[in-house]
Structure 1
Amino acid sequence: RNREFNHPDHCFNLLGHAWKLWLERKASDFIDPQLPNSFDLSEVVKCIQIGLLCVQQHPGDRPNMSSVLLMLDSESASLPQPKQPGFYIERSSEKIDVEMSQRDGNSNKITITLLEGR
């Protein structure tokens, strides 16, 4: 489970980083270089594209689950280009500096959010 993402060159969250690489036509750079080279690059890029389709800003643009399954299963279907994600966040560099200076290796902070209806 991804809890945090920090990139030395920009202040985007993980989704913002994926979107930035997609726009630059460098989706393959999103793959962890530590992974063994035992995957089909075109399949990975397809999964990234489908993931970006699922988080588009306007819910009406997002595919439903049956469409996602068809996209994943199809080898020949041409996929639409994703639009900007709705959860695309760029953090300020000042906030990152504060977070980095406050971080220690043994922090055991817990945050609990309870959602209740009115």
Structure 2
Amino acid sequence: MGVDIEESVGVQYVADGGLDGFGYITSEDFRTTRVALQAKRWDRKVSAPEIDKFRGAMDKYNAEYGIFVTTSDFTRDAMRVAKSGTRIITLINGDKICDLVARYHYYVEEVTTYKLKSFYTNNE
């Protein structure tokens, strides 16, 4: 999705420096931005302290932009904290992950489905 991942930062399970990924995004006007990535596969909601920890890891790597992804959702405090400060963190929850997978066709294939109209299902 346009992120050039730096393989030496955060792409390991342990001792990742607080990041799950780090890379660069180059915009259409050729401006390159350092981006930090964090991903959580959780059943419970991600809370504000997790966002704060991520922001600290962003500082460590001088990231200008952050993306925090979870399979669950975020608490209201986490959403508020993500928008505070000088660097807004983009939050992607489970529903948005599904939207992105469909939009970019990651690991999916399109199928066509049909639904019968009421004429065929009417039991009168």
Superposition TM-score, scaled by structure 1 size: 0.29
Higher strand share: 2
Higher helix share: 1
**Greater relative contact order (CA < 8 Å, ≥ 6 in sequence):** 1
